[in-house]
Chain A
Amino acid sequence: MDSYSNDNTARRYRAHVSTWGTTQLHLRNPYVMAWWSAAFPGFGHLLLSKYIRGFMLFAWEVIVNMNAHVNTAMIYSFQGEIQQAKEVLDTRWLLIYIPVYLFAIWDTYRTTVDMNKVYILADMEDHRINTFSMGAFEVNYLDKRSPFMAALWSFLMPGLGQLYIHRIFTAFFIVVWGVTFFYFSQALEAISLLFLGETSKATSVIKPDWLLMLPSLYGFAIFDAYINTVENNKLYKKEQRRYLLKTYQSPSFIIKKGTKMS
């Protein structure tokens, strides 16, 4: 049940409000988007609201990276142990890692440039959009929320910031992978040990290749929650201005000159 049904009269729409979340085009920096795809293939596409290929690339990265031991090799390389890095890499998997990794970065960059152009056209067309959607399972509507709170919740647990701003798919995705990474990295056990002051025991309990997944997931969860709150707020403002101009500018209204009452 929507407040407005798209009648397909627009050539392009700026945004789509559904019970699953608010999807919108907005200006993005292609380099920043490409960077997120470099941090973790899939993140760039998720930020562009291209969820299916984002999920695919992400799952692909986890499977191939883990089997080729790319993360382990990265750890050795950062430590300067180049010989060990060479030995740990599994050549049965390694070579297919490279093209897909580069594709994710390249495709994010070019898609961002393209979608920025589409946004400029959609923004100038300024067609009416649906702003309220209610269904049996969810309610979604445009409104203003705090970018700081969105970032804070995703900082406390990745995915909560996305729930706060009604990005159901991304929230589900981040929570599932977050739990997976926490479990397999044994990071939470290590943190408990750190609280007890047993630092060396904490280090030994960690599974390094899984631990290396967590910084990217945290960074992405905070970034995604923050920028999307900002963009949702901008969309809200634009839509309200549009509504006010259309509804409350009667030609018969006359501004009268008088005296200000104290």
Chain B
Amino acid sequence: MKRVQLFSTFENHSYLEIAISNLEKQGIPREKIYAVPLDKRAETKKLFDTLHSSDGISLIDIGLPLATAFSVITASIGFELAWGPIYWGLIGAGAGFVLGVIIRLIIFWQTEKGQKRVRRKQADLILIVECEASISEKVEKILWEHFAMGLAKVESGT
């Protein structure tokens, strides 16, 4: 009987576990599912933390403290100015936040200078599933439906 191994890449997400649960429901034993979590390139620091990836280096870690500080000061001074404390407080918050972001950007460009940055979304792990050729279509469909990033089927003799 012909057997197929499906190589796929995924992000760490609950969809991955749903996909694996579905495969086990199709009768694929645990021993025929092989997961290899990937280590990431060390220099791929990103400024924008998203749902999919975050490394704790973020745009806001200087911006928000500065926004708070500036806002308190400009709101205080604003009591004596024509626009009053609320407008001036908001202006101070905005200016502080922008300044903090600029500082963070400068630090970022300084440390990342000369390093190639990987911009694209990266896979978190490789998942290999072995099954009989007859159900490989179904397995492939399950993997794609649960957001496999890439997938290849490899056919072997036995």
Contact = CB atoms under 8 A, between A and B. Distances in A.
Contact of B89 (A200, A215, A248): A215
Contacts of A202: 84, 86
A78 B60 contact: no
The 7 lowest CB-CB distance pairs between A and B, nearest first, are A219-B68, A258-B156, A203-B84, A215-B71, A78-B76, A250-B31, A244-B35
Question: Interface residues of A toward B: which range?
Answer: 35 or more
B123 to A, nearest CB: 13
Q: Is the interface of A mostly helix, strand, loop or mixed?
A: helix
Nearest to A29: B61
Contacts of B67: 215, 219
Contact of B50 (A146, A191, A200, A260): A146
B86 A39 contact: no
Nearest to B68: A219
Interface string B73-100: 1011111101111110100110000000
Contacts of B12: 144, 236-237, 240-241
A216 B30 contact: no
A260 B77 contact: no
Given A78-B77, A230-B56, A253-B32, 10 more contacts: A32-B61, A206-B84, A211-B89, A230-B49, A240-B17, A247-B30, A248-B34, A255-B5, A257-B154, A258-B154
Interface stretch (B106-114, B124-132, B141-149): B124-132
A47 B89 CA distance: 24
Given A78-B77, A79-B77, A258-B157, A206 B86 contact: yes
Interface string B44-58: 000001111010101
B5 A256 contact: yes
A250 B28 CA distance: 13
15 contacts: A32-B61, A39-B69, A79-B77, A144-B52, A147-B58, A194-B84, A211-B89, A219-B68, A230-B58, A237-B124, A244-B125, A247-B30, A248-B20, A256-B130, A258-B155
Residue from B17, B30, B75, B124 whose CB has the most chain A CB atoms within 10 Å: B75
Interface of A: 26-27, 29, 32, 35-36, 39, 74-75, 77-79, 143-148, 151, 187, 190-191, 194, 199-200, 202-203, 206, 208, 211-212, 214-216, 218-220, 222-223, 226-227, 229-231, 233-234, 236-237, 240-241, 244-245, 247-250, 252-253, 255-261
Interface of B: 3-5, 12-14, 16-17, 20, 30-37, 49-52, 54, 56, 58, 60-61, 64-65, 67-69, 71-73, 75-80, 82-87, 89, 92-93, 124-125, 127-128, 130, 152-157
B81 to A, nearest CB: 9
Given A233-B51, A244-B37, A258-B154, A222 B84 contact: no
Contacts of A244: 35, 37, 125
A249 B20 CA distance: 13
B77 A256 contact: no
Nearest to A223: B64
A245 to B, nearest CB: 6
B84 A199 contact: yes
Contacts of B127: 248
A226 B51 CA distance: 11
Given A219-B67, A257-B156, A261-B154, A144 B84 contact: no
